[in-house]
A and B are shown apart, each in its own frame.
Chain A
Amino acid sequence: AQSVTQLGSHVSVSEGALVLLRCNYSSSVPPYLFWYVQYPNQGLQLLLKYTSAATLVKGINGFEAEFKKSETSFHLTKPSAHMSDAAEYFCAVSDTPNTDKLIFGTGTRLQVFP
C-alpha cells in the first residue's frame, strides 16, 4: 500500500532562510507525488506535483521539490522564507496516473519568524 511520511510535525525558520520540508514515500509502483498547502481555516491548495516527467518540479509561490527515487524522497524547498509562507504543508501520493484517491501525510506546520 502506498504511504507518505513527513518528518517533523513542526518546522520553524527565520524570514529569508531556507525552507526544507521532508517527505518520504512508500510505493510499489511508480508514484505520483504532490505537495499541498493549507492556510488557517481554509481548504488545501495544490503547490506542485510530480507525474514522472522532470524530477525537479517547480510550483507556486517559489516552492520546488525534487523526486529522488534512490532515496524515496520528495522534499519541498524554498530558498527564502516569507512570513506569508506560514501554513500547514501536506505531502500526498497516488499510484494511479489520474491521481485518484490521494493518500496524505500527517502534515508539517511551518512557522516563519521575523
Chain B
Amino acid sequence: EADIYQTPRYLVIGTGKKITLECSQTMGHDKMYWYQQDPGMELHLIHYSYGVNSTEKGDLSSESTVSRIRTEHFPLTLESARPSHTSQYLCASQTGDYGYTFGSGTRLTVV
C-alpha cells in the first residue's frame, strides 16, 4: 500500500490552463522531490524541499513552481500549461538513508 499519493493519475488539459499536481505523504518525511520523466529518458529532478517553507529548483529547469506549507503536502503548479509540459511527473519522499518512496505518478498531456 502506497504511503505517498499523487493525484490525478492522468490529466489531459488544454494549452494555457493552470494546473496543480497534488502529492501527499503520510510518513512524516522532511525531504520531498519532484521528478519529470519522459518516455525512454532518465528522471530529471525539477524541485525539492527539505522541510516546511523550504523549496529549491532541481537540475532540470522547469516553468513549474512548488510550495511546502505542510510537511505532508508538496504540490506542483503550472500557471500556463503548454504542450512542451507533456510528461510524467513523479513525486518522492525520503528520510535518512532508506532511499526514496515514490508515488504512482501523474501523466500529464497538454493539447
Taking Cβ atoms with an 8 Å cutoff, the residues of A that contact B are 9, 32, 34, 36, 41-46, 49, 51, 90, 97-107
Given the complex, which residues of B lie within 8 Å of A98, measured CB to CB? Answer: 94, 96-97
Nearest opposing residue in chain B for A4, CB measure: B42
Among A44, A103, A105, max chain B CB count under 10 A is at A44
Determine whether the beta carbon of A43 is less than 8 Å from that of B94: no
Determine whether the beta carbon of B100 is less than 8 Å from that of A106: no
Cβ 8 A contact of A46, one of B59, B90, B99, B104: B99
Summed over the interface, the residue pairs from A and B with CB atoms below 8 Å come to a total of 61
| Given A106-B41, A106-B42, A100-B90 contact (CB < 8 Å) | no
Determine whether the beta carbon of A107 is less than 8 Å from that of B40: yes
Taking Cβ atoms with an 8 Å cutoff, the residues of B that contact A are 2, 4, 6, 9, 31, 33, 35, 40-43, 45, 48, 58-59, 90, 92, 94, 96-97, 99-100, 102-105
- Tell me, in angstroms, the Cα distance from A100 to B54 when the chains sit together: 15
Return B62 CB to nearest CB of chain A, in Å: 15
Cβ 8 A contact of B99, one of A41, A97, A99: A99
Determine whether the beta carbon of B99 is less than 8 Å from that of A49: yes
Cβ 8 A contact of A106, one of B40, B97, B99, B105: B40
Determine whether the beta carbon of B103 is less than 8 Å from that of A43: yes
| Given A9-B40, A104-B43, A42-B48 contact (CB < 8 Å) | no
Among A9, A90, A102, A106, max chain B CB count under 10 A is at A102
Given the complex, which residues of B lie within 8 Å of A101, measured CB to CB? Answer: 33, 45, 48, 58-59
Return A3 CB to nearest CB of chain B, in Å: 10
Nearest opposing residue in chain B for A44, CB measure: B102
Nearest opposing residue in chain A for B48, CB measure: A101
